[in-house]
Structure 1
Amino acid sequence: MNTTRKHVLAMGLCLVSAAAGAPLAAATTTSTTATPVSTSLTNTITDTVGDLLATLDTRAVTKAVVPVGATKDAVAALLRTAGAGARATWDARFGTLRALRADGYLTAARTGTAVDVARDWLASQPAAFGLSAAQVQGLTVARDHALPGTGTHVVSFVQTFAGAPAARGGRLNVAVASDGRVLSYAGETASGSALVGAWVLGETGALLKVAGTLAPGTAYAPVADGTQAGFMTFSRGPFAGPGYVRKVAFPTKTGPVAAYKVFFIKSQTEAWEVIVDGTTGAVLHRTSVVQFDEPHGTVYDNYPGAANGGQPRQQSFGATAESPKGWVDLTGATGTGVTTLGNNADTYANWSNFIAPVDNAPRPVSPTGHFDYAYSNQWAATKGQTTPPSYAEDLDPAATNLFFQHNRIHDEYYALGFTETAGNFQTDNGGKGGQGGDAIRGLVQAGAASGGAPTYTGRDNAYMLTLDDGIPPWSGMFLWEPIDDAFEGPHRDGSFDMSVIQHEYTHGLSNRYVAGGGALGSQQAGSMGEGWSDWYALNHGFNAGLLTKPIVGDYVTGNPTRGIRNWNYDQNPTTFGDIGYDLTGPEVHADGEIWTATLWDLRKALVARYGAAKGAAVAAQLVTDGMPLTAPNPSFLDARDGILSADLDRYHGDNTALIWSVFAKRGAGVSASSQTGDDTDPRPAFDVPAAASNGTVALTLVNATTGQPIPNARIILGRFEARVSSLVRTGTTGGATVKAVTGTYPLTVQAPGFGTQTIEGFSVTAGRNTAKKISLAPNLASTAAGAQVVSVSSQDDGAPAKFAFDDTAASVWSTKAGSTAYNAGPDERVTVKLAAPATVSSVRVSAYKATNASRFAALKGFTVQTSLDGVTWKTVRTGAFGYQAPRPTAPDLNYTTFALGTPTKAAYLRFFVDSVQGDTTKYAQVAEIEAFGSGATVANGTVTPDAPYGDQGTLTVNNPAAGDPTGMQNVFGVTGTEMNTACTFPPASQGVDGWVTKLPAGFSDGLHSVAVKGTSPLDATVGHDLDLYFLDSACALTGSTATSSADESAPIPPGTVYVLTHLYTGANVAVDVKATDNR
């Protein structure tokens, strides 16, 4: 059993009355003289204390009292009229009805006040409650409470006997809906009306009886000094508070006993409610009214309104095995008091700055350590009003919730091994190693005041900054709001989304724990950082029963289907070879989804093997143990090996084969390779070490119209093509061998002249070598197959229309940006002469956009027309790409085949861009337009690589000081700034500190690379350092590479028209720029 540190509630009349269940009225004083001490009792108390904290009830049931006779019959009558699913429970002490509920309401609607409705319902069958009709009418109304927002009233009645209220029994609670229907009943009534015994002791004698039991040896001469809420009040004497005594009736199965109810406050940490017999002073009931309680708060396990974990509940903030000091520092913060501050977390508002934790106020404060606040969601109610009230109204519940989640996660990870010596986040490490002083700072509503329109830098996001062990990290939870054509979600407070909070906290885990800490500097490592973060949030959500689908961020995005990611993780099809698949190109969040999906598969496989609880526990331990066993700046494969090592270490390799199988199915098999963690074109493989568990398929690809083999075709086990890594390419005979672990995969083929085609249900069976011939229909619209772009109404210099017919979605056709929204202007179009006249039966379209473009510029609606002569046109198909809010994603815009209603003979095809995804975007982009059909013989497509292009110049001076102060790389320097602002080629400052190269047409397709080499003067005392920046036709930045190397090389981002070579260090450096075709 855990040893817990208990917190004592602040003492006072309100606390005592709250524990007793009855509010105290304002105190009144009297001029009567003090009641003398009874002569039968000495003023020195000598009784024995005993177990004072234990609740004592002399009615403890040894044999239940069962209902009989009229009571039983009356309850049966109520059940008959209550409707479907009616069920009753009994009070074992009294043999009366304890609770009555049904699937619906217990009665029909009726008029009248809730009190009248409730009383009338009780009077309809009084025997069910052990009462007479007269007793029902004599019930006293103790409370008539309206439930906020529902109109339902909970009416509380109390039985009275000889004018005294019942105590510790005799309560009846009837819930009445706004239309007068009775919803439910719960109570504890006692039969009988004749009082047993009499009030003989007197109030003073009762108080002394209680004091003699609870404070033996203490001299006490109580003096009556007034009344309050029906109690006689007495001087406190040597004790911490006054005494309170009143006459009550104590219900028992044999009738109500005349008794006294006494509140006795011995000290700030010791106070009791005691009911004593009115004649003998014997204790009938005793309970402590000081809640030796841990600090607590009202929190949401998941998020407000979630199907699971969506209701507020009270959570202890006290000591746990992982946090023996408890979650709240009861000494409080200097100048503040007890607040959301403890050994693991420090949580407060950060309204004016979302980057750094500068606003250490305001914050919740509670002298009792009870942070119980109702959440009213004012940010949504005011529709994003940025001036308080609004979000500020909910600071206290938001801070409480974030504080809870941070502490909960601390304890979860501590149990998995992220302890003091692992670099966890704690102020005091208790001598257990590591560096203390680094409790996580939780920044609530970060940037609420400063991060909104027009920049929105403090909206629709969250972040975690992790420094070295001993330096506090901080995590900022933003407000979320809809931003047109950017992020079209609801108004939400990120401090209430468990998955987002745990995602961010986990960045601290991975940054501190992987490979000894501070070792996630590579692109794949950064992606895994995102992936681990999602996985741990999902793992907790499933373990706690909060989630039934693996979705992250559904609350803040308002998307219950896939949340903030591209998929529900059960539906994620990506593999190790898909790095760079997303609309943004290689990007840590999108590529991190590959890692999460793989780890989620691992968890599911272990759950299938061991069952839900053990399987999930094994998975969490393997993933966590694998972190410190992983190489620094790791690739996916390094982290895979860390998990394999963890399994060997903890589970003696029992799960090794299973782990290999999971990773192999995601392309991280034994033959996979990655040059470094920065490799964005790794080699995927789908095999496992055990040869018998693999199967092979010998593929042969042929042209469906000629029978010719198709060489140099990319074979991809997956659904994506643009920027992904192929498994293998076909040889000159059109052959390729696929080796994989048993499974069924989507097989995608991309080849010049054939576009991109996906074959479903490609199966591999362990131990079998099979052969498969695939006939591919030519892409009639492919320029590689002989199609020609005849005309285009609008095209950007860096993204010409021909890029829509080059068999790949890696390049895009973009219209020129207009002065108004594209959807308000004309529908741009492109006309292509097909490779051969044919009967067109389908078009295949990719709505991908350039990696640097807005996703809301992507194609939405389109129209396809065909013609035999290029003059007379017929509309043969319309279609559209939709998306789920808050934004279009890769699966929304990926290749889709649109069949024509009727196959149509055509020699020409015209494609209209009817609309784009966003209402404010001023240009349109389409990645690929392909056409398929029959009735024509089309030879294999051919691509002639572009000849290398070179450019030379001299850079006079360096410019290391210029740059973007936020740390985000940008165009900078004299030459770069001029080009970026004036966009005139060549710039007047050409050669000052930068050299601008204009690329030949066609080099902006994303399939070319550039390298720059500098030559310093022979007498130079230092060398040189060159950086590369890429600009589109409007001279906006499309990408950059700026490493510590003297010279640079990089792929040219799609849409690039200009390459800026910038001199970071050196002088009078000659530069040689060379761009080449990667095909």
Structure 2
Amino acid sequence: MRPFSVPSATRRVGAAAAGVVLLAALLPAQAQAAPVPGAVTGATDSKQQRRADYDSRQNLAAAAAAQPTAALSRAVVPAPAGNAVKTLRDSLGVQGIVDIDRATGTPRRVAKLDGFLTGPSTKKPAKIALDYVKAHPEVFGIDAADLATLVLRQDYVDVEGTHHLSWVQVADGVPVFGNGLKAHVTADGRLVQVDGSPLKALPSSAGAAKVSATAARAAAVKDVFGTSTAKVTKTEGGKTTFSDKGNAKQVWFQTASGPRLAWQTIAVDEGYVHVVDAASGEVLYRKSTIANDRADVWQNYPGAPKGGKQQPVDLAGKGWLPNNARVLSGNVAHVWSDVNDNDLPDASEEVGPSGVRSWNYPFVDFNDEVGGLCSDAYPCSWDPETPNSWQTNRKQNAVQLFAFLGTFHDHLKAGPIGFTRAAGNFEAQDGDAVQGQAMDGANTADGLPDANHTDNANMNTPPDGIPPVMQMYLLSPGPSSVAANTGDEADVVFHEYTHGLSNRLVVDADGNSTLSDQQGGAMGEAWSDFYAWDYLVAKGLEKDTAKPGEVLVGKYWTAGGTIRYEALDCPVGSAATECAGTPGAGPGGFTYGDYGKIYAGGPEVHADGEIWAQTLWDLRQAVGSKTAQSIVTRGMELSPSNPSFLDMRNSILAADLVVNKGKNAKTIWKVFAKRGMGYFAAAIDGDDAQPVEDFSTPPSANTPRGTLKGKATDSDTGAAVAGLTVAFGGHASGFAGDYRATTGADGTYTISGIIPGTYAKVYARGAGYDQVVKTLSINSGTKTENWSVRKDWAASSGGASIVSFTGVDYTPYGCGPNELIDQSQLAGWGSEIETEAGQNAVIRLSGTVDVSELVINPSATCGDDETASTGGYRVETSVDGTTWAVAASGTFPAGTVTPTPVALAAGTGDGIGFVRFTMLTSQGQDAGLCPAGQPPTVSGCVFLDSTELAVYGQAG
């Protein structure tokens, strides 16, 4: 949802807007407000309107996916590379993975879930890994000369003795951003996995950058509407350091034209990592380093039955503070009360000892002043009606936050988790102790917090070596919440801290976090829930018996309720009240098929994260806390970039193979299969918001196989369609025995070696053709299935483009004009009501066409409610893009939110090359919901949207 003044009750999550998360208010699940569009986790203060993550390399993968022939030319043909990939896949068996990155044509992951890539060895881990790469040069795209460009960045040994090695590719002294080589070798010399998607060719010379480091950082700050004025403090060793402790350095960045010289900038005070083209200043990559949470209010709060009373702790004895410290600053953290939200520890905001080597600040409740849900069991810590009341517990809260940070630092550092210094944890001796900002923004409205400084908490995690920032806020009271403080709650702090763990372990070869906004983002929230509650239960601070529905997140804040839709310990099919589910997902524990259905507005990282969190809790119950801690953490270290739930399932299986010799493999498969993440579950990648669930465990290797063959034809012309991909969802992304083929010149294809069964997502798609999905039952014989596909001449994947458009560009929020022609009924074009002329977009078709049908889906997008759907519209056509004819006009009736054919006037659809679509009014306007002079009450009074436009016909 984009920023505007419509009350939050009228807003809803945009299902297609990448990176959209709810930031408006930390409300219980049944009363959630809408997200800010394009926002990323953590935007709760002056940086509330944050830009969505962006990676131009995704365009390379998207182009490859839209043009299967081109994609396969990198991964399958020509020989010998294609043969080598197939040979390696086949050699690894049924549970082998050779997952080719479409953007680079090199492996995203090579692994074997039921074994190792190599046997035991006494060689050095680096040699073991590089020897394997040398043995498969056609697969990895790296020859002897390329190996010389690799620089070992890290050889991190985890607590189980496994070496996690990362090599950065370097050319002319400049490292490659993101792409590189990673490998994982056990203590006894077995190669577990190789990943990283290295680049096949690098320039020999970098040349001179036209854009300076300072200018690149300025471009990055401008890109996120930032206000940073950080100055250069040092330039040394090719790196420019700034006063916010961020930096800029030159890197190579993969583009469609090959690697380009660029600047990687880290702006700590803005909370972003950028890559900026060194010649043009163009932003090539943007990633927020902030991880935020809406609903992170856990037990171990004041008044809790266990762990709810203040007890003495030796801050210096635990190594958290130096002896005779004057402020809360030590090896694990620096905590101050950032009540003015300037991100600086002002002298008045620091907290010192209460006496000689004493930090005793008693907690004072505000139960009588606030009333409502405040009680001895759920005490309030401030009075929102009294300015500066938070001052009473300010010092107590800062000390509490500091102790929580030290506690969880030590817990994660110890085995079997092992988040050590080598793994990238947070310690002052490495220059990156957590910067804890207690009561952030409490004094931003004359002694009270403004609306942007309540009901939230966040963790900003830059790459290793730069301090993370944790911001904790006051909680405002409501019908189902108490006036409390997030820094007083163990689990909210532990949850935020775990964002740092996941963002430091799931990284590319250069150490940058690769957790996506969809499934990766959901797992980020789930890991935070899991690690926090695993600790509380393991320490006896909370109970988890055989009774379902006991692990309720947010008891303190909600005075005994929960801020999640379900408890973590809800088994599939449970009838417990705490496992009631949602209308979209149904009751009982969540499964993979519930992805995008838990929250009514569509995919949402906190809601969808409950699927992963419940699965991990099942795993904990099945294998025990310690084993789960071990293999879940090791799984993060073995993760490929931008992981899906299925990628992480595979990583956990691989971790168990390393740690426990695979003895838990059957149990792990059963746990994941029970939650719909079985062997045949399907997800394209970590950004897939519509995965397909499956409940089966791996088939036997000697299971009889079947064959699928047939022909693809154009439904409008009847002609054979070449270059079309026919594939099985879940079996077309790297597993041994991929079920996919490309149609030949005559439109025919053959896929062999198929395990018999019913497959829910068998699809045919290609550049410019609408995807066709079928459910097919395959037996051990041969099945013939023909495909009739339709070419959309307005589809961007086929070469159509947006020539021009009017209105605000909401591309950063995932709903720009290009989404109108992306062949998706989820994402769309969102604009604003500005003039009576409406908003228009001009589309250059992929060729000249005699139109047989034009279809428009006028539904709202970008998080708007249905009233923002297009009502009045006009369609104009043109041969040359200059001379236009009105082809159709009218009004979509209220409630029209599906693809709707629009009839064109005679002669206006013959031999056209351009279409101009104008949104004139919203359905809310047409329904009289937006009286003049009145404040808007629905989205359709402000916004004007359409989801998709398609053009069908024959070449003219």
TM-score, normalised to structure 2, is: 0.42
Higher relative contact order (CA 8 A, sep 6+): 2
Asked which structure has the greater CA Rg, the reply is 1
TM-score, normalised to structure 1, is: 0.38
